[in-house]
Structures are given as structure tokens and as C-alpha cells.
A and B are shown apart, each in its own frame.
Chain A
């Protein structure tokens, strides 16, 4: 079955990833993350001075600013800001930098669907680039259920989103995926799909539309598997960057 964008052959196929870190030289860390035609640029400044009003005595304050592709930020962007902030808060070891500010600015560069997931992935890569201490890495994938075929389509484009029955955004941390890897390597035959999906601990989930509980859990399972690819990609990207830095310093 071919997808609407005609570049993919399977409903569970993701668009090609692309990322690059350290693009902006006036921020402490930055990253761009692409899912095919969707692209988000993210910058991180911090730990920096915090406004007295936002100061927290025992941890760093996280501030997320979302800038849309065109026009002024609206209610949708505010909702995404809050979602990104509350998802990153438990991941950032903010206790290490009390009474400081970590500011994350998310700028959409190209919009072809799955912007929320792209923004999540860009934000975590920018935090890694800025060297902010993290307890784990997140990976995000969006999926939709098609209104005509009832298929689960991963990483939908704008066109596919327009004819979706429901849309689901998931974020998983890599603790669960490491756990699943260990499990599948230990008892390869017994690793049934139910075991895997029960280990899929959800960090963030946002679903709208009309769907059943079964469909929701199925989507969570499919996205969990796809998020492994995102985790792997982020890992290789960071490894490559560190290798390059090491070569430069030792040369």
C-alpha cells in the first residue's frame, strides 16, 4: 500500500530523519530536527539568570517558547509550549542548577505534519548540545488512524492529517527501550507483543479524534516501536558529534 506522499510504501514507515546540532553560535546549544518535509529549529540558553518572579529555590526554571511558521504565536503554540515544558521537566536534572533559567526556543521552519513530535525531538537534541544534565532521552512519534481504511499511519503528512479519524502524539523515554532491548535479547522467543507493549511506559501522550481503547493501545504499541528508531538515531547523531569534537581537540 502506498502512502499519500508517494515516497513511502508502508503505513508504518517513517519519513527520513535529519538532524544537525550546534547551528546557532549565540546560544548555548541548538539543534535542527527534520521528519521529511517537517523541520524544527530549537535553541537552548542556560543555565542563565532567572527573573525573580520565576525563581525556584531548589531547582532550575524551565521556559519554553514556541514560535509558529507564520504569524504570531497563538493558543495552539501556548498548548505546545506547556506540553514540551511539562514533559522535559522530569527529564532535566534541574536540581543541579537551582535558581537559574533554562530557556528553550522552538521555531518551526517547515510544516508538513507531525510538528509536535519534531519539536520534542529537536528540543531534546538541543538540550544535549547545550550540555544540560538529563536523566534520560526522549523520542517522539505521531500517528493517525485513517478515516477510510482504518490503518495506523505513522509520521503523517499534512495531507494525511486532514483525512485522519484520530491523531496520536506519543513520547517515550529511552529507559523503557533499554529495558525492552534487554528483555528481547534474553528471551528472544518469548518476547511477545503484549510483553513489549506493557513495558512501553508513556512519557507524554496526546490523542484527539474518535477512537476506541483498543485502537489507542495499538497506536501506543506501534509508536513505541517507531520511537526506538528515533532513540537510535539521536544516539548515533550524538556519538558522531562527540567523535568529531574528540578528533578536533586531539588533532
Chain B
């Protein structure tokens, strides 16, 4: 009986459930988990979410893929269209990536003009495809100065749960490897693309991808510089910075970006590159399995 008053003293005036605590103090809630080396969704700080890749999910597209990373689902479709080349590059086609984050995937996005995040991801993909020379645009030429292929690479997010960068780039690379375009014929200013017969190696061609860059993202928690691999949307909202490492199959770097958070040491970046190497190999295995 003597212990009762002390018990009363340490028991707080009111208590709330874990889910209420999460809503009131998301950062503190997360720290409680991180201090034990785990995350609220049960992952270790350095582990990635289960990932699957499916090819050819859209039959009306010339190439398509769907990628799931945990709760994030993106669908990518590639549509080839005959277009007129630019004057300064008469023998080069177009490769136009676009990422759409509509309200369908999360309540965080509003209808209307593309959000800043969608534009930033589109730009990241565009730059990786262009500057890492993934595809020689000359291969998309039908007749120099007259007609070229224009590849519209559209990524639609169906369900958003963080790490859109990795999911989007993986789906773009998977869809590009899935592309099969009918061989066109060019005669006197008219491009003809043959009828409805089944696609085979005779009457169609595949894209000759020089490399397959895949990105690996990490979120940075500012105060103690905790590194979180493959952040979900709750973790993204409390993190202050992110590191994205893009590698091709030979382990060569295609892009490195570190944005936000306080200064991070070179050691941290090296660690990220190391982890990204392992992860991109794993991603490649998953991509090849499904093909």
C-alpha cells in the first residue's frame, strides 16, 4: 500500500494511444522507434520495402511497366508518335518523360497544374536519360529532316507512399526496355506504319538502351543525421533532406544529388553510394526476374 502514492506520482495526468501520439508529435514518435534501430513500419533503418516490377501492363501502349515499392505504385506507359524533327537536330527523335502526381494517389496533391514535386521528378528523369546517354536519339530517326519518332514516357502515380524518384525511374527504365515499335516505311513525304498484324522481330524493333540507370533514395533526419533508406511518405514529411544516388549496371554513377538538411560529411555520402550499389543490384535482379 505504501507504493501507491509514488505510482500515482509517476503516472501522467492523461494518456493517449500510440496513434494519437503519432499525429501530435510525428517526429518524437519516429525518434522513439529510431532509437531502437527500427522504423514504425517494422523495417530496419537501412532496409528497403518489397519491390515488384510488372511488364506490359498497358496493352495499348508501345511499352509499359508497373512498379510497386511498398505502398507506392506507379504505372509507366511509352507511346511512340511520328513527329517532325527539330531544325538544329534533323536526325534525332524525342524522348519526353512526364510524371503525374494527381489527387488519385494521395490527398497531399491538388488537382490542376503539376505540383512542384511532380515537375522536379520529371526533370530528374529527363536529365538522367539525357546526360547519361541512355538512348541514342539518332535511333529514333525515320527519315532525316523529315520524320522521327517521338517517345512520350508518361508516369502516373496510382498510390503515393514516398520515394517517388526511385519508383518512377525504375518504371521508366522497365517500360523503355519493354518498348516494341512497328517498323515504319517512308515514301515521298508519307510515313506509313503497317497494319494490325501481330508484332514480331520481323516487323518491329526494340530500343537499344546503352545502360539502365536506377536510383536509390535516402532521407536525412537533420538533428542527428539519421539515414533512412527508401523513405515512405510519413518519413518524408518529417525528414529535412534527401540523398539520391543513380547508378548504371556497371556501378558507374549517373547522378548524385543531396538536397536540404545541414552539411553532411563525405563519409555519409560514401556510405550512401555503397548502400546504393547493393540496392541497385537487387533492383536489377527483380527487373530481370519478371522480364
Q: A residues near B, CB below 8 A?
A: 75-76, 78-79, 81-83, 86-87, 89-90, 166-167, 172-173, 175-176, 197-198, 200-213, 216-217, 220
Decide yes or no whether B255 CB sits under 8 A from chain A. yes
A191–B222 alpha-carbon span in the complex (Å) = 29
Contacting pair B263 A172 (CB below 8 A): yes
CA distance A217 to B258 in the complex (A): 14
How far apart sit A166 and B263, CA to CA, in the bound complex (Å)?
Answer: 23
Given contacts A79-B123, A82-B120, A208-B255, contact A201 B260 (CB under 8 A): no
Beyond A206-B258, A210-B133, A213-B273, list 9 extra A-B contacts (CB 8 Å): A90-B241, A198-B265, A203-B262, A203-B263, A208-B127, A208-B131, A211-B253, A212-B252, A213-B270
> CA A83 – CA B267 in complex, angstroms?
22
Q: Which residue of B lies closest to A89 (CB)?
A: B260
- Would you call A78 and B240 a contact (CB within 8 A)? no
Q: What residues of A have a CB within 8 angstroms of the CB of B123 in the complex?
A: 75-76, 78-79
A86: chain B residues within 8 A (beta carbon)? 241, 259-260
Per the bound structure, the CA–CA distance linking A210 and B123 in Å amounts to: 17
Pick the residue among B116, B126, B260, B261 that contacts A81 (CB under 8 A).
Answer: B116
Chain B residues with CB under 8 Å of A79's CB are 119-120, 123-124
Interface contact B128-A208, CB-CB below 8 Å:
yes
- A202 with B258: CB separation less than 8 A: yes
| B269: interface (CB < 8 Å) | yes
Q: Which chain A residue has the least Cβ–Cβ distance from B267?
A: A198
Query: B35 contacts the other chain (Cβ, under 8 Å)?
Result: no
Contacts of B273 in A (CB 8 A): 213
How distant is A194 from chain B, measured CB to nearest CB, in Å? 10
B232 close to A (CB within 8 Å): no
> Per a CB cutoff under 8 Å, which of A82, A175, A205 touches B258?
A205
Q: For residue B256, which residues in chain A have a CB less than 8 angstroms away from its CB?
A: 205-207, 216
A57 to chain B, nearest CB (A): 14
Residues of chain B lying within 8 A (CB to CB) of residue A87: 259-260
Cβ–Cβ < 8 Å partners of B128 in chain A: 208
CA of A8 to CA of B266 in the docked complex: distance in angstroms? 30
How far is it, in angstroms, between the C-alpha of A200 and the C-alpha of B265 when the chains are bound?
7
Minimum distance in angstroms from A180 CB to a CB of chain B? 12
Which 8 A-B residue pairings sit nearest by Cβ, starting from the closest? A201-B263, A86-B260, A208-B131, A79-B123, A205-B258, A78-B119, A207-B256, A75-B123
| A168 → B minimal CB distance (Å) | 8
Contact B266 A217, beta carbon cutoff 8 Å = yes
Taking a contact as CB atoms under 8 Å apart, the answer to whether B132 and A210 are in contact is yes
B122 interface residue, CB < 8 Å from A? yes
Least Cβ–Cβ distance between B252 and chain A, in angstroms: 6
Partner of A202, one of B126, B133, B248, B269: B269
A107–B24 Cα distance when bound, in Å, is 40
B74 interface contact, C-beta 8 A: no
A197, B119: Cα distance in complex, Å:
34
In the assembled complex, the Cα of A175 lies from the Cα of B257 at a distance in Å of 21
**Nearest Cβ distance between residue A89 and chain B, in whole angstroms?**
7
CB-CB nearest in chain A for B241:
A86
Name the distance in Å between B165's Cβ and chain A's nearest Cβ. Answer: 12
- B264 near A: Cβ within 8 Å? yes
A193 to B154, CA, bound (A): 46
A75, A87, A198 pick with most chain B CB within 10 angstroms: A75
